[in-house]
Amino acid sequence: MNLQATTTKQRKTTQLRALFQRSELAFLMEAHNGLSARLVEETGFSGIWASGLAISASMGVRDNNEASWTQVVDTLEFMSDATSIPILLDGDTGYGNFNNVRRLIKKLEQRDIAGVCLEDKLFPKTNSFLNGEQQELADVSEFCGKIKAAKDTQSDPDFSVVARIESFIVGMGLNEALDRAYAYANAGADAILVHSKKAVPDDIVAFMQAWDSPVPIVIVPTKYYATPTDQFRTMGISTVIWANHSIRSAMTAMKTTMKTIYDTETLKDVEPKISSVSDIFRIQGADELAEAETQYLPGYNTQLAGIILAAGPSRIDGFSGPKSMLLVHGRSILDHQVDHLERFGIGHVTVVRGHDKAQMVSDRVSFVDNDAYATTSEVYSLALLADQLDTAAVISYGDVVYKHYFIHECLAHSGDVVIVVDVNCPATDSWRDYVQASEAFDALRIQQSPTLIQMARSISADQISGEFVGLMKTTKTGSRAIQAALRSIESSTLARMTMPEFLTALSQTIPVHIVYVQGGWVDVNTLSDWTAAADV
């Protein structure tokens, strides 16, 4: 699966053909694996040159077809999966005769490669910059047969076959280059790549002055790199390939880093100068995987944080400590909640404590203190963690005992903010967090998509859809929306704001989705609640 969402409706083959045919100069940047290909697209280039030199170098072998065509195609698959822009393969001589070319085209199309560049030399090839004058060119008619075979084999009409002319490389001159270019164009080539190893663009200038065909011309100015790019525009060049600069710059950077570490025997001098591990995770699409895990692998949510809001005082007669430390079946409510979170792979749990905080202890969680607990509510406690709200999270009140599957239901929902609402609630208590939803619970409907309209402690009975359980899930997007909302509220208002008020206001900026449950939880406020918690 492509880790990066496709940003265009056009097929990659169509994108590449459009680059060749447009009036302004186009650029392809070299890449040699999935990471470099992703970086090419992220930088802003419209297409990728899958360089034979760079791919072979990344494998530690020579650019003499020592890497098999199947190994090259395997590398291309990773590059294609990692990107949404077109890839033009440096296909050397086609890895054999016309029959090898036919099979190559089939395999490239299967991997969504947009085109291939074939050069008119003999197999196995030798890099153009190694003893070029001693290299032999393919017979014109034989090479035209390869082009025709490629065009007859392709199933996508926009797949591009680029014919690369090596006449200047081997010292044959302009006339030979032109004769071959016209022959290859007549054989069906979609573009002609004219190659030169001179430090000045004289060969290219002479070719373009004589070229009289609408077939686009592609160049690789590796040797004549000092030529102003506007000169290529003036000449009528279609596409410029920056052919090997990703792999060369990578080598320079790696050698510098390795040498520094070797000499200093420490990392302190290199860490500030290199990409962070988190940047690698970003390129790899770690965020997408974390989001997918919450939907498809609810038992393995390593990117989720757990937040428990447990700062409020106890109102239970005869008990003055934190309600989260009340024992249910011999273990604290806090331990039961952490058990549930860990069951779903949530290993990092932060608890906001306040009332009698010295009595709230656990080596399983981190603590943040709300010393203003007596005059504030859960929203203020949540605001104390605003800086940490940069990842997906499960957030719960600290005095609720609930079935573990409530978390599963939250994580299985695709919404960015999801709250759990119990439909089995009396409509006469002034202390309950009542919910009015866009859709009432219907046991006969399998598919429901209710969202929050309002939450309050006084809603008319005919509008009540249920009671907020005190448990919610947020994705990274949802957490950031909550973070932004908390930071937008004045401190004096924040201190007085209740969770129903906050969630109602939040629902005006981002949908607050609802998961309905029927019982299976207790909000421990009284001795009878504490007794009932043992049955959950």
- The one-character DSSP state at 393 is E
Please tell me the distance from the alpha carbon of residue 494 to that of residue 380, in angstroms, as a whole number.
6
**Dihedral, CA of residue 52, residue 58, residue 59 and residue 64, to nearest 10:** 30
256-266 pLDDT, tens digit per residue, is 999 999 999 98
Lowest-pLDDT range of 150-164, 205-219, 306-320: 306-320
Q: What is the pLDDT of residue 128?
A: 64
Tell me how far CA of residue 350 lies from CA of 30, 274, 325, 338, in angstroms: 46, 32, 15, 10
Helices 69-81 + 52-59 axis angle, to 10: 100
Q: What is the pLDDT of residue 396?
A: 96
Closest listed residue to residue 322, CA positions, set 367, 266, 389, 263? 367
Token output for 213: 């065909």
Q: What is the pLDDT of residue 125?
A: 72
Percent of residues, the chain, with pLDDT higher than 70:
92
> Could you tell me the pLDDT band of residue 291, with boundaries at 50, 70 and 90?
low
For residue 107, with 0-12 CB atoms within 10 Å meaning exposed, 13-18 middle and 19 or more buried, which class applies?
middle
Question: Euclidean distance between the first and final Cα of the chain, in Å?
Answer: 42
Q: What is the pLDDT of residue 153?
A: 98
216, pLDDT greater than 80:
yes
Please tell me the distance from the alpha carbon of residue 417 to that of residue 502, in angstroms, as a whole number.
13
Over residues 384-398, the mean pLDDT reads 90
290, pLDDT greater than 70:
no
Catalytic residue flag (residue 190)? no
Token output for 494: 């924040």
Please tell me the distance from the alpha carbon of residue 135 to that of residue 126, in angstroms, as a whole number.
8
424-468 pLDDT, tens digit per residue, is 888 777 778 999 999 988 876 667 789 999 999 888 888 999 999
Angle at 157 between CA 155 and CA 159, to 5 degrees: 85
Residue spans of beta strands (DSSP E) within 294-372: 305-310, 327-328, 331-332, 348-353, 366-369
Closest listed residue to residue 226, CA positions, set 246, 202, 197, 201? 201
CB contact at 8 A, 511 and 517: no
How many of the other CB atoms lie within 10 Å of CB of 56? 24
Q: What is the pLDDT of residue 4?
A: 41
Residue spans of beta strands (DSSP E) within 87-202: 87-90, 115-119, 160-165, 191-194
Please tell me the distance from the alpha carbon of residue 19 to that of residue 251, in angstroms, as a whole number.
30
Q: What is the pLDDT of residue 101?
A: 97
- What is the widest separation between alpha-carbon atoms in the chain? 103
- Backbone phi, psi, residue 51, to 5°: -75, 130
295-316 pLDDT, tens digit per residue, is 666 544 457 899 999 998 877 7
Interacting residues of 519 by C-beta distance below 8 A, sequence separation 6+: 422, 424
Q: For the chain, how big is the Rg over CA atoms in Å?
A: 33
Mean pLDDT taken over the chain: 90
Q: Of these residues, 63, 90, 158, 416, which one is catalytic? A: 63
Q: Amino acid identity of 104?
A: L
333-367 pLDDT, tens digit per residue, is 999 999 888 888 787 899 999 999 998 888 889 99
482-510 pLDDT, tens digit per residue, is 999 999 999 889 989 999 999 999 999 99
